[in-house]
Chain A
């Protein structure tokens, strides 16, 4: 799994790439929680995620909860087909704010 953290205005953008599975979800969790602590809105770009498992989804849920506790919000952006299927299986597609693009995400939660 690769990742990239950038900022656009006050919004943190976390891009994940490749497979977020048992091997890499620990790392993904660390990155996401690190960002969540900054109490800024977060966009997680899932466009390049080929595979995400339940542990990866769990990291996203934890990051969402931490961000909201900090008074901010977290949205998913450009969710890949593979990631969307797992979100649907978890019935979390209604829990997360899902945006088509980074611009839309910045508008929604920025």
Chain B
């Protein structure tokens, strides 16, 4: 009795020792793997390692980890342990015992797989593995199904999984699920951060495309306030060699990255071509050509391009489909300048027929405002839109401020702390007030209006080479009389000599009976030479300056003329016969 009792007691102690050591083993495994999951850098490796440990710990022949994918429609094995490698095996999300376990979000013990109607025999048939018993635990976090861990064929004993095994597997699958969710969120965060950083870089490059703000007394000021990180709006201004200032403002259809890229392209084209093409209409037409060649279907750019001459207060403007710029004259009245052509990128037709129509505007101390519809359609504090009338009033109300401050005042009305902008805001002001004051102080060159002409020379001569010396002498003296320096006068002589040669050689084709008329006028600060012949019209496009690295005789004359003179244009001759070449050069 005694010994039996002793034996029983010993058995009980042994059993509780067993339980204790099993529980502490469970805890150790759980704690280890929890730690692994929490500190994992590579979730796939950690999961695969974890699966191996649990399979060995429970004593199963094999184990597999399935994850839901394809928006929850499929279950794919992403880790497997055991004699048969089944990574990549894909089932429908409710197929097999693993599918049922995932869908019901309940762990289960299947003692005889063959008798379970859900069991997929096909897998065994294909792999040659013989599945007897299955232990399966779902992975889910707060109802979000992720997948399941499945163990097959318990080794040793009766070959069956028990509740302890299930409990252990469920604990592990929960922490694995959490680790997977965490890893996925971290990945999404990293990706978001990467996209954000790239956007910021793009925005920085975009900001660098905008011109640096000029001094307060610089006549042109601009401001751009993007609705998102990057902007589809742009503006630019840059001085030309003759003191005039080339400017533009544009709005690319749409917002975001694609608009920003087209913006960068259009702005770059304008800056590059604007340095050589000094006619805004032709310039916009040329840009239209380029953009039409490559633009993504459906994207376009509305754009205003112009040239402002601080010396005269005049602006030449071309508008391709853009919101009409507003000219505020010194008497407080507004003039809107509507678009004369469709937006850029719509049709290559623009370019034929000499480009987009240009408008000439005498600012006479007033200000020209160019802006995008983000401004007029911007929401004011009371929820209403700014509209054109609101903008007009705002600009007049702030007339006492500097141009840059006026633009900021407009932005401040629309862009308020904590309110997302509806669209990019961009404004440009060409303010002639200071320049005009400077012009008024200077003694009027020809009596008032800067455009007043003064005839300096009128000369008529036959198309004969032996008259050129006479023409050269007359032009040299006239240029000096206009106030040109000797060097400038000598240059003008070269230009007129070459132009006369072109008339003699190309227009009259060497015939000595042609008549040539030269008029020299002083127009404001420029000397203007008008050379007229009465021969058949010359196809201007065939007279081209030659490439300078091509060293060979001939073709140089036209290059000299363009090099020397600020403006060289064939203009329609009075009466429509012959050719009239207009050449102008700043006197100082």
Residues of A at the B interface (CB closer than 8 Å) are 19, 21-23, 51, 53-55, 57-59, 61-62, 65, 82, 85-86, 89-92, 95
Contact = CB atoms under 8 A, between A and B. Distances in A.
Interface string B224-252: 00000000000000000000000000000
Given A57-B556, A86-B560, A92 B551 contact: yes
12 contacts: A22-B468, A22-B504, A22-B505, A23-B465, A53-B494, A54-B498, A54-B556, A55-B501, A65-B552, A82-B490, A86-B494, A95-B551
Nearest to B500: A22
Interface of B: 465-466, 468-469, 472, 490-491, 493-494, 497-498, 501, 504-505, 548, 551-554, 556-557, 559-560, 563-564
Given A62-B553, A85-B490, A22 B501 contact: yes
A58 B558 CA distance: 13
Residue of A21, A62, A85, A92 with most partner-chain B CB within 10 A: A21
Contacts of B548: 90-91
A82 B494 CA distance: 10
Nearest to A59: B553
Given A19-B469, A23-B465, A58-B556, A53 B501 contact: yes
Nearest to A55: B501
Given A21-B497, A86-B560, 7 more contacts: A19-B469, A23-B468, A54-B498, A58-B556, A61-B552, A61-B553, A92-B551
A19 B465 CA distance: 12
B559 A22 contact: no
Nearest to A95: B551
Name the prevailing secondary structure of the B interface residues. helix
B551 A53 contact: no
Nearest to B469: A19
B163 to A, nearest CB: 95
Nearest to B498: A54
Contacts of B564: 89
Contacts of A55: 501, 557
A57 B552 CA distance: 10
User: Main SS of the interface on chain A?
Assistant: helix
A6 to B, nearest CB: 25
A49 to B, nearest CB: 13
Contacts of B491: 85
Contact of A58 (B490, B554, B563): B554
Contacts of B560: 54, 86, 89-90
Given A23-B465, A89-B559, A51 B472 contact: yes
B494 A89 contact: yes
B143 to A, nearest CB: 78
A89 B563 contact: yes
Contacts of A21: 465, 468-469, 472, 497
Contacts of A61: 551-553
A92 B564 CA distance: 16
Nearest to A51: B472
Contacts of A86: 494, 560
A86 B494 CA distance: 8
Given A55-B501, A89-B494, A90-B548, A23 B466 contact: yes
B568 to A, nearest CB: 14
B557 A53 contact: yes
Nearest to B553: A58
Contacts of A59: 553
Contacts of B553: 58-59, 61-62
Contacts of B557: 53-55
A53 B490 contact: no
Nearest to A25: B465
A89 B561 CA distance: 10
Contacts of B551: 61, 92, 95
B465 A85 contact: no
A57 B469 CA distance: 17
A53 B558 CA distance: 12
Q: Considering the complex of A and B, which 6 residue pairs feature the smallest CB-CB distances, nearest first? A: A58-B553, A54-B556, A23-B465, A22-B465, A54-B557, A91-B548
Of the listed residues A22, A23, A58, the one surrounded by the most CB atoms of chain B closer than 10 A to its CB is: A22
Contacts of B498: 53-54
A85 B488 CA distance: 11
A90 B501 CA distance: 17
A19 to B, nearest CB: 6
A70 B564 CA distance: 35
A94 B172 CA distance: 83
Contacts of B469: 19, 21, 23, 51
A89 B556 CA distance: 9
A65 B553 CA distance: 10
Contacts of A22: 465, 468, 497, 501, 504-505
A22 B554 CA distance: 12
Contact of A54 (B468, B472, B501): B501
Nearest to B504: A22
A65 B554 CA distance: 14
Nearest to A22: B465
B472 A90 contact: no
Contacts of B494: 53, 85-86, 89
A59 B553 CA distance: 7
A22 to B, nearest CB: 4
A108 B564 CA distance: 33
A65 B504 CA distance: 27
A51 B501 CA distance: 14
B512 to A, nearest CB: 12
Nearest to A24: B465
Q: Which of A55, A62, A86, A91 has the most CB of B within 10 A?
A: A55
Nearest to A92: B551
Contacts of B554: 58
B352 to A, nearest CB: 33
B507 to A, nearest CB: 14
Nearest to B552: A61
A90 B556 contact: yes
Contacts of A62: 553
A19 B494 CA distance: 12
A54 B498 CA distance: 7
